[in-house]
């Protein structure tokens, strides 16, 4: 398993960086595809639990939220159309389609679509590649730091009901490596006059958010009684297995560059 994960990372990370470096519709197309596959995995987990979801309206809402940055004139009408269709379906199909089914449909589309919409917003910043690169670096640092410290020193469970493998020692390692990456990134690159405090704050926030995103998807997997969200990434599982932490980190990085640089 470790060998497969390593090979996938060695191939996948350079390919990911190359796509993001190209920018434009390569960039946007990648994140649109990521969102669609992520929502497919989310809905499949919920269906596995025995719930129903409105899949086509759900994908429609996902794209409306995701692309609302570029096409704001369609955002509110699109959300309104989704609500009309969803509520009409609920009224006509009750009780076969419950309020909880409607809530799961909305949560999946809104959670993934809203958070990944920040990747589309980042594309319009002055140095988008560096911004998105930092978001990924902080996410990976949190993941690697947590894994290394947790494997070596992990004894005290952080959230055994959500993720038995997570420990407070791993959380400390996640925090430490995220701090180091944040500091090194701004030390090596000239991105304006920044004090040490904002850089430290970003590293701490990214680590906490990454771990929260990871635990949230772990909770959905526990609830749905599945081990992985999917199998599309060899050795890593599904898109949500690999990008769960990134989803919460990328908005924080976006706001950091908007308000601090």
Res 194: pLDDT = 82
pLDDT at 180 > cutoff 90: yes
pTM score, whole prediction = 0.94
How many other CB atoms sit within 10 Å of the CB of residue 189?
12
- Mean pLDDT (whole number) for 176-199: 89
pLDDT at 4 > cutoff 90: no
Reported as type and span, the H/E element at residue 165 is strand 163-167
- Mean pLDDT (whole number) for 195-199: 91
pLDDT at 2 > cutoff 70: no
* Tens digit of each residue's pLDDT (9 = 90 or more) over 89-120: 999 998 889 999 999 999 999 999 999 999 99
* Tens digit of each residue's pLDDT (9 = 90 or more) over 51-72: 999 999 999 999 999 999 899 9
Is 48 in contact with 38 (CB distance < 8 Å)? Answer: no
- DSSP letters along 43-60, please? HHHHHHTT----HHHHHH
**In the chain, domain spans:** 1-23+127-261, 25-122
Is 143 in contact with 210 (CB distance < 8 Å)? Answer: yes
Res 59: pLDDT = 98
Res 20: pLDDT = 95
User: What backbone torsions phi and psi does residue 158 show, to the nearest 5 degrees?
Assistant: -85, -50
pLDDT bracket for residue 236 (50, 70, 90): confident
| Sequence-separated (6 or more) residues with CB below 8 Å from residue 208 | 175
Return d(Cα 35, Cα 188) in angstroms, integer.
32
Is 86 in contact with 57 (CB distance < 8 Å)? Answer: yes
The two three-digit tokens of residue 72, written as one number: 């704001």
CB-facing half-sphere around the CA of 107: CA atoms within 13 A: 14
Closest alpha carbon to 214 in 162, 152, 160, 157: 162
How many other CB atoms sit within 10 Å of the CB of residue 258?
12
Task: Pick 139 or 163 by higher pLDDT.
Answer: 139
């Amino acid at each position: 398993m470790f060998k497969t994960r390593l090979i996938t990372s060695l191939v996948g990370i350079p390919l990911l960086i190359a796509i993001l470096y190209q920018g434009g519709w390569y960039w946007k197309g990648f994140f649109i595809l990521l969102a669609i596959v992520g929502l497919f995995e989310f809905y499949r987990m919920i269906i596995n639990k025995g719930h129903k979801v409105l899949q086509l309206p759900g994908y429609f809402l996902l794209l409306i939220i995701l692309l609302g940055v570029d096409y704001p004139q369609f955002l509110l009408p699109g959300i309104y159309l989704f609500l009309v269709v969803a509520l009409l379906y609920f009224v006509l199909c009750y009780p076969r389609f419950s309020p909880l089914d409607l809530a799961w449909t909305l949560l999946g589309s809104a959670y993934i679509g809203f958070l990944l919409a920040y990747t589309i917003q980042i594309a319009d910043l002055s140095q988008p590649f560096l911004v998105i690169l930092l978001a990924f670096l902080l996410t990976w640092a949190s993941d690697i730091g947590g894994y290394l410290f947790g494997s070596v020193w992990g004894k005290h469970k952080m959230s055994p009901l959500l993720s038995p493998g997570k420990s407070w020692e791993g959380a400390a390692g996640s925090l430490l490596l995220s701090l180091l990456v944040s500091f090194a990134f701004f030390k090596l690159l000239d991105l304006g006059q920044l004090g040490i405090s904002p850089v430290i704050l970003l590293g701490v926030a990214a680590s906490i958010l990454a771990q929260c995103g990871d635990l949230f998807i772990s909770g959905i997997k526990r609830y749905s009684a599945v081990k992985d969200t999917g199998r599309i990434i060899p050795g890593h599982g599904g898109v949500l297995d690999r990008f769960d932490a990134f989803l919460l980190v990328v908005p924080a990085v976006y706001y950091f560059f908007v308000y601090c640089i």
